[in-house]
Structures are given as structure tokens and as C-alpha cells.
């Protein structure tokens, strides 16, 4: 059974899923949806994701939305004991970072991305950018300090936790902003960029 991913690659949330599929060596069909590709308002799509958002994953009987849930599901199904850690403490450390990406890092950085990449220059709101930078910088410091203590977010090895956070860092690093030296964050990010899942994902330009 081939996996079916619905979603455009310009979406960070779709990129997480594509990274995971590639990392796991799975074959998947991807259909562009959302943004100017549309589809998400159609009745058939809404019957699968009533939110009308991407990504959406179909895998046999499983029809799933929410990007981090899809990442967890794929890792649980195909990589229990590695990307999906088995000991509960390690697994929930990974879960913790994934929730942190969704609830803390993403909201902080979102406006700078939207202003720089999706807003015409003449309508750009510098105050929104400054606020987004002010909220994100301490979170990058936090990541740098955490990654000084261990190679990956959930411990010694690469896990599902690293995928959503790396997709977020990819988006942030592509913005035209001065970057403070953060050697541990940069070392970790380079290691994630070297993973098989990163090809065509963490080297994409933003749109």
C-alpha cells in the first residue's frame, strides 16, 4: 500500500512529513494541495480533513492530519526503537520537543516568515518582524544550551523530535536576519541536514 501525502512543499508542515517518509525509506505519492493549488476546500478533501489544511496522510485505514501526529505515526509504525524511542522517558522527551515546536517555537517565528516571504515589501510590518525576532532569539539560545548537553534533542541519537524542530530552524535560517553564533545549534542542524530525509527538504528555498 503506497502512502499518499496531500500538501504543497512550500508548507513547513508538509516538509516535516516528506522528511520523515524519506528518512524511513518509504515510498509515497504526494499531491500538491493547499495555497494556490487549492483542493483543500473540496468536499472530498474536507471529508478527510475537516480543517481544510495540509498535510493530510492516507495510509490504508489511517487518514491523519496534524503534521506532528503524522510524523509520530510513521515513526511508531516503521521505526519503533529508533526514531520512535521505546523507553517511555525517551519517547516522551521526544514528544515534549515536538509539542514545543508546535506551541512555542512556531508561533514565535511565524510572523517574521510571513512578513519577509509572503508579504510584499511595501506592506511589510517591521514591528511584527522585530517582535517575532525578540520572541525567537531566546528560544534559539535555549536550543543551543540544550544541544550543548547532548547530540540530539531527545538524547544520544536522532529521533522523531529532531524533524519538526529542524524544519523550523531551516525556515528561520533562510530569513534575511543577522545570526548570533550558536555552535551547538549549528552543529545539530548540520547533522540533521546530512540525514537522508533532508534531501529536497532542508535545502529548499522558501516561498
Contact positions toward ligand GSH, by CB under 6 A? 11-13, 34-35, 40, 53-55, 66-68
Cell numbers linked to 88: 517511555
Nearer to ligand GSH, 190 or 207 (CB): 207
Nearer to ligand GSH, 113 or 182 (CB): 113
Angstrom distance (rounded) from CA 161 to CA 72: 9
Residue in 188, 189, 184, 157 with CA at minimum distance from that of residue 172:
189
CB 35 to ligand GSH: min, Å = 4
Nearer to ligand GSH, 23 or 168 (CB): 168
Q: How far is the CB of 7 from ligand GSH (least distance, A)?
A: 7
| Nearest distance from C-beta of residue 145 to ligand GSH, angstroms | 26
Q: Which is nearer to ligand GSH, 23 or 144 (CB)?
A: 23
In the bound state, the residue with its beta carbon closest to ligand GSH is 34
* Least distance from ligand GSH to the Cβ atom of residue 180, Å: 27
Residues in the chain: 207
Nearer to ligand GSH, 21 or 147 (CB): 21
Distance CA 21, CA 26 (A): 5
Closest approach of ligand GSH to the CB of residue 90, in Å? 23
The CA-based dihedral angle spanning residues 78, 82, 87, 93, taken in that order and rounded to the nearest 10 degrees: -100
Instruction: Please write down the long-range contacts of 46-54, taking CB distance under 8 Å and 24 or more positions apart.
Output: 48/6, 49/6, 53/13, 54/6, 54/7, 54/8, 54/11, 54/13, 54/14
Amino acid at each position: 500500500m503506497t502512502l499518499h501525502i496531500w500538501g504543497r512543499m512550500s508548507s513547513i508542515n508538509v516538509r516535516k512529513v516528506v522528511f520523515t517518509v524519506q528518512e524511513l525509506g518509504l515510498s509515497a505519492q504526494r499531491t500538491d494541495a493547499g495555497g494556490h493549488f487549492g483542493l483543500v476546500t473540496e468536499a472530498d478533501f474536507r471529508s478527510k480533513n475537516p480543517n481544510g489544511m495540509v498535510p493530510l496522510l492516507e495510509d490504508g485505514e489511517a487518514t491523519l492530519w496534524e503534521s506532528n501526529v503524522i510524523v509520530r505515526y510513521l515513526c511508531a509504525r516503521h521505526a519503533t526503537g529508533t526514531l520512535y524511542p521505546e523507553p517511555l522517558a525517551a519517547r516522551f522527551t521526544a514528544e515534549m520537543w515536538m509539542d514545543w515546536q508546535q506551541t512555542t517555537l512556531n508561533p514565535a517565528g511565524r510572523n517574521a516568515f510571513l512578513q519577509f516571504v509572503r508579504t510584499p515589501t511595501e506592506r511589510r510590518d517591521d514591528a511584527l518582524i522585530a517582535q517575532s525576532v525578540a520572541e525567537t532569539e531566546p528560544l534559539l539560545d535555549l536550543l543551543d544550551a540544550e544541544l550543548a548537553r547532548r547530540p540530539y534533542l531527545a538524547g544520544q541519537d536522532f529521533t522523531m523530535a529532531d524533524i519538526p524542530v529542524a524544519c523550523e530552524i531551516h525556515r528561520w535560517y533562510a530569513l534575511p536576519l543577522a545570526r548570533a553564533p550558536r555552535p551547538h545549534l549549528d552543529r545539530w542542524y548540520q547533522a540533521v541536514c546530512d540525514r537522508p530525509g533532508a534531501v529536497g527538504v532542508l535545502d529548499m528555498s522558501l516561498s
